[in-house]
């Protein structure tokens, strides 16, 4: 009896450790062998057929290893501008010592007998991809289940991994180890053609024409750092920019505010949009005509694709999850974070503050690359600016707490208002008045030039706008953007 109980315990133990691995066994993985054979046959009888599917199919999309090898040889022949037919494919497989694996010359020849033409090849290829995605989902799900049973697994890491892998599948972006030069050149040409049609603006316009002239818009996958001392107007600038992006260009934008509440932020935007001072709006003391002005001018703001999240002490883990959802559900094209030093790296990344900021900075760049959108993050500057004699204009060395911010960022910029320090003129040796003005300083630009750009600042509305010094330039820019 004791022996039977022991055997039962051993069986239960075996089941508990292996039942997850056995999930799905006894079922045939999703596949479409007939469609795979039809596609491969069509590729060998029509030299133009590959153009229809080369951007859809990768070798790993095929279920059978033999079919993966055949398609891999076909892609190689195409890349080398060589003919694709029964003889060249067989020869390519022979050189790789894969011909016998694929069934020999007769099997290759038989593939072409299954089709009469390449008609519907794109439709057939998409069915193959669908089956591949189903298999990938099964594998990912099985791994998640297996990891979930592992008591040593960190649940937050597991959630992040699960969401990341499912996000990749949902976007048809199953991760690859490399991109071929051929596919990258094609993508680059498409981008150049797009830019030529957009009059040189390849990214998301900030609404500030001189900034866009230097950056060509905020670029996908870029991390943009905007730094400044308290009171310089960092939040005012990104709110003005968010207003331009959401209202003027109807581009979805997400704003993560760790310092101000969402109501405070939207009140600032209402002030900017209506021309009513923030002080009046806070106190609610408006004249009848001002109430009418308020209600008549906020409709555009109400309809703007602007999403504000004011979660305090936001961790990188939570931010990544929220950004993925915003991109997938609301098609958000740009993320703004106010501000970086108020974020946390999570319990598992606790260290000294410099290490934590480095982790946050790297993670923000990673989010920008993963989602292929620009991420704009505000950052504080150290007090060295205040103690420095002479000019208070910020420098890269003033970035607070970590040099990793400068290293990870594609663009590092500063907001500087000399009026804040009681100055009445710019330090340009021309005695130019600086009242009601600010400067957007591009101090690092990985893919472009540097510049100091003057902007108009309206303190009562906490609003930055274009400084209309060169009207011809601004009118030309506005005309291009509106067209």
| Diameter over CA atoms, the chain | 101
φ, ψ of residue 426 in degrees (nearest 5): -75, 150
Write out the two tokens for 219.
């670029």
Give the whole-angstrom CA distance, residue 401 versus residue 269. 31
Write out the two tokens for 328.
């997938």
Q: Where are the alpha helices (DSSP H) in 304-396?
A: 316-330, 353-371, 384-387
* Active-site residue identified among 198, 199, 259, 419: 259
Q: Which long-range contacts (CB under 8 A, 24 or more apart) does 351-360 make?
A: 353/401, 354/401, 354/402, 354/404, 357/401, 357/402, 357/404, 357/405, 358/402, 358/404, 359/316, 360/316
Catalytic annotation on 60? no
Strand 411-416 and strand 253-257: pairing?
unpaired
Instruction: Give the DSSP per-residue string, 259-276.
Output: SS-HHHHHHHHHHHHH--
CA–CA distances in Å: residue 167 to residues 162, 328, 406: 8, 8, 29
Please name which of 403, 383, 401, 394 lies closest in space to residue 442, comparing C-alpha atoms: 394
Strand 223-228 and strand 306-309: pairing?
unpaired
Write out the two tokens for 298.
């906020």
The DSSP bridge partners found for residue 233 are: none
Say whether 194 sits in a helix, a strand or coil: helix
CA–CA distances in Å: residue 129 to residues 52, 55, 112, 386: 14, 11, 21, 59
Give the whole-angstrom CA distance, residue 1 versus residue 11. 15
φ, ψ of residue 258 in degrees (nearest 5): -95, -5
φ, ψ of residue 178 in degrees (nearest 5): -160, 165
Would you say how long the chain is, in residues?
483
Please provide the distance, in angstroms rounded to a whole number, between the alpha carbons at the two ends of the chain.
Answer: 86
Catalytically active residues are 259
């Amino acid at each position: 009896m004791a022996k039977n109980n022991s055997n039962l315990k051993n069986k239960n133990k075996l089941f508990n450790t292996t039942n997850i691995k056995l999930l799905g066994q006894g079922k045939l993985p999703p596949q479409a062998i007939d469609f795979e054979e039809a596609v491969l046959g069509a590729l060998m009888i029509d030299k133009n057929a590959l153009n229809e599917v080369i951007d859809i199919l990768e070798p790993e999309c095929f279920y059978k290893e033999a079919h993966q090898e055949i398609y891999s040889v076909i892609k190689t022949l195409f890349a080398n501008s060589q003919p694709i037919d029964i003889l060249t494919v067989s020869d390519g497989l022979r050189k790789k010592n894969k011909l016998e694996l694929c069934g020999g010359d007769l099997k290759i020849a038989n593939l072409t007998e299954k089709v009469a033409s390449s008609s519907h090849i794109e439709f057939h290829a998409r069915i193959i991809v669908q089956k591949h995605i189903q298999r990938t989902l099964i594998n990912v799900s099985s791994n998640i289940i297996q990891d979930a049973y592992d008591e040593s697994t960190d649940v937050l890491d597991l959630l992040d991994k699960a969401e990341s892998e499912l996000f990749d599948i949902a976007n048809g972006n199953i991760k690859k180890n490399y991109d071929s030069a051929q596919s990258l050149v094609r993508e680059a040409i498409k981008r150049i053609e797009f830019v030529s049609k957009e009059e040189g603006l390849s990214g998301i316009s900030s609404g500030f024409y001189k900034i866009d002239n230097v950056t060509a818009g905020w670029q996908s996958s870029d991390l943009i750092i905007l730094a400044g001392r308290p009171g310089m107007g960092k939040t005012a600038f990104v709110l003005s920019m968010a207003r331009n992006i959401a209202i003027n260009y109807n581009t979805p934008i997400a704003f993560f505010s760790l310092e101000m509440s969402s109501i405070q932020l939207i009140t600032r935007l209402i002030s900017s949009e209506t021309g009513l001072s923030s002080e009046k709006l806070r106190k609610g003391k408006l004249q009848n005509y001002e109430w009418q002005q308020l209600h008549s001018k906020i409709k555009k703001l109400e309809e703007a694709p602007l999403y504000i999240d004011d979660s305090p002490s936001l961790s990188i883990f939570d931010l990544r999850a929220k950004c993925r959802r915003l991109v997938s559900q609301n098609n958000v094209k740009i993320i703004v974070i106010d501000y970086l030093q108020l974020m946390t790296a999570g319990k598992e990344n606790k260290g000294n503050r410099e290490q934590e900021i480095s982790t946050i900075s790297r993670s923000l760049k990673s989010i920008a690359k993963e989602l292929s959108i620009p991420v704009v993050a505000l950052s504080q500057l150290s007090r060295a600016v205040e103690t420095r004699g002479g000019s208070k204009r910020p420098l890269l060395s003033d970035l607070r707490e970590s040099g990793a911010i400068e290293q990870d960022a594609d663009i590092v910029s500063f907001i500087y208002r000399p009026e804040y320090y009681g100055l009445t003129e710019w330090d340009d040796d021309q005695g130019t008045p600086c009242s009601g003005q600010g400067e957007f300083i591009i101090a690092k630009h990985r893919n472009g030039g540097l510049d100091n750009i003057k902007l108009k600042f309206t303190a009562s509305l906490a609003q930055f706008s274009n400084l209309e010094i060169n009207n011809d330039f601004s009118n030309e820019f506005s005309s291009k953007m509106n067209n």
